[in-house]
Amino acid sequence: MIYLDHNATTPLAPEALEAMTAVLRDLHGNPSSTHAAGRAAREAVEQARAEVAALIGASPEEIVFTSGGTEANDLAIRGARRARGRDHAVSSPIEHPSMLGPLADGPTSWLPVGRQGELDPAALPPLLRPDTALLALAVANHELGNVTDVRAFAALARAGGVAVHADAVQAAGKLPLDVAALQVDTLALSAHKLHGPKGVGALFVRRGAALEPVLRGGHQERERRAGTENVAGIVGFGVAAELATAEVDRASELAALRDELEKRALGVEPDTVVVSGRVARLPNTSCLAVSGTKAETLVIGLDLAGVAVSAGSACSSGKVEASHVLSAMGLSQELAQGAIRVSLGFGTVSADIERFIGAWSELIKRMRQRQEAALTAA
């Protein structure tokens, strides 16, 4: 199997697995306990906290461990609204469902989306109100790979006394991240998007930022998030974060492979559209759309040929309607229904691109032959 769905999840790094196995075997204590076993577990958690903090230029005490990116986004949005006593938020309609879900619990104004999926900071000031609690945006879109200038948005929002939350789940490990440069109050991360384990994430909370906990019942995580910490998962996250810091430097290699894939896919089917191909993107992400096809057909056909891709966000699998991201961009329904996401990883090599192009070529050829046969029969 050629795995080209890294935006859905990444393979667990062997180093992370080894570290987690050691924790499960040897560290039995609760990190909140004061005896030796508890202190050993606490030490492991704090080491991982420092490693995750280093990935984004934060201080360890600003990192709150969660069950994943979804909980981190939820805590940031609900927590800011509660702490500030204001409900209004500003965001964009192309955000991940883990952002759109909690945003729906209060009044939200939506930034306009350009034809390439771009967001314009100049559109923000008219949407800010006296009751605006926060601005919530992704650093990079999960389906398109579009990179948003969060810093430009943050400068405008903070000048108006509005908190800024960034969803960096897709960006971490692919782009250099520095929370001070971004000027954000909170920032969400997820371990399994950067070769760590599933079921663990983190929320950066700037020192002094107003945030109320959503999960209550214990004093863990400086009373930001109650519940006994997932020690093995957190340790795996820490190892993955340390590895990701080095991997970011290889982004140009990944972008070259992505560009080669797109060029050759267009050579096979000139009517292919590289969605958002003219704006800054993550180095690993390509959204390919072919008019007159169905994304499900493309995904299944490629899967049968031994190539794994997706039809958008993994959190939206099973849906047959067009992606909300592509709809918000104004992409035609026909084209949007034929869009797939190909997302490379740092383990991707040229041979994988060859396999994809071979499978893509055969699949497109068969589909076009069936379409021609149907037209002839009609």
Q: Which residues carry out catalysis?
A: 315
**Pair type for strands 186-190 and 273-275:** unpaired
CA 357 to chain centroid? 26
In the block, tokens 């934060």 appear at: 58
How far apart CA 172 and CA 247 sit, in angstroms, is 10
Contact 317, 5 (CB under 8 A): no
How far apart CA 323 and CA 331 sit, in angstroms, is 10
How far apart CA 141 and CA 138 sit, in angstroms, is 6
**Pair type for strands 186-190 and 201-205:** antiparallel
Kindly state the tokens that stand for 140. 């990079």
In the block, tokens 């820490």 appear at: 238
Closest CA to 214 of 204, 201, 228, 227: 227
